[in-house]
Chain A
């Protein structure tokens, strides 16, 4: 169970958001919506522990989630705007690196997003949508209960969105949680909305 109590984010002197509170239980999904610049990406970075919170608390099963950063990092997968791919490495090599960090099956993750035919291509020749799929394939590696997704479907075609939907459904069926910031409709049935 992830619980946020009165989180706030400052950038310089400017308050991006304040008093953000929510609860997310096993299998739950939360959509972050709001205009550009409302702080959706900042909130995700804050939840990942990459940005300090100016106020409030983030609790995991009732205990301070960020007290042990390594433990918090181990239970989450963060997908940012950037795909975190190295253009010089092939799709498989890019994914294999993360599999070595987190564990998990490279081939199964490639198959989950229909990337097997592209596995031997260097990431620099992949299209924007294919790169996004490769970044999403990281979600299929190893199990982490909390997924933080920043605009996961940008550049994806309908088939890839459907594959992501399958991945999300499997994740939630096994008790995983999803927090997603998006402007596009996401395959997350029954998701609550948090407006920033």
Chain B
């Protein structure tokens, strides 16, 4: 456990030394959300109607950005070999990477959600649900993405392959996340949808690091 925490702290410290990566994902998210009013027109009702789906899609695309470097940097400089020999187990390494990805990408996206939500004219009452849905959906993507990043590690054009592999699997998170935000915007309880999102995360929590770990070992 001590070694696992050491790995997680190192990942976070590296993210702090390279804040541009996190900033790029957040700005990408806000910019994609800002494109919708330009494309669809500024009619408030139309914007509010597409806001839930647009928020989810923009957040998942933004969270994909740093994924291809998740293991790539460590593989190139030899750190990955050392991590695989650290006695941590490749599944534990993958779990630390997934959590670090969520903390450095998912969490900042969650914080930026109100900005994007305001641009899309989402009713303020639905903001908390939007933040919860985005946080959970980003967590799901962190887990799936870690498995995808491990699988595409070393593949030529892995950066292109990764979204093709991960995004189709993230569709359930978009459906339940958008449904939660829509429910909250209509004044209903977003709880059932958020619970379903939570169930997705709970299912991916043990499976994705195991898959990623297996992929890392055979690489």
Contact = CB atoms under 8 A, between A and B. Distances in A.
B77 A97 contact: no
B43 interface: no
Contacts of A86: 10, 14, 77, 79
A88 interface: yes
Contacts of A48: 81, 85
Given A50-B84, A76-B85, A88-B17, A100 B78 contact: no
B13 A93 contact: yes
B77 A85 contact: yes
Tell me which of A76, A81, A97, A98 has the highest count of chain B C-beta atoms within 10 A of its own C-beta.
A97
A98 B14 contact: no
Interface residues of B, number: 21
B153 to A, nearest CB: 14
Contacts of A102: 86
B82 A84 contact: yes
Contacts of B86: 73, 101-102
A70 B89 contact: yes
Interface string B42-53: 000000000000
A78 interface: yes
A78 B85 contact: yes
Tell me which of B18, B85, B88 has the highest count of chain A C-beta atoms within 10 A of its own C-beta.
B85
Interface in A60-116: 70, 73-74, 76, 78, 80-86, 88-89, 93, 97-98, 100-102
A90 to B, nearest CB: 10
B192 interface: no
B6 A100 contact: yes
A93 B17 CA distance: 13
B2 A84 contact: no
Given A88-B17, A88-B18, A97-B10, A74 B87 contact: yes
9 contacts: A50-B81, A70-B89, A76-B85, A78-B82, A83-B77, A84-B82, A89-B14, A97-B6, A101-B3
Interface of B: 2-3, 6-7, 10, 13-14, 17-18, 76-79, 81-82, 84-89
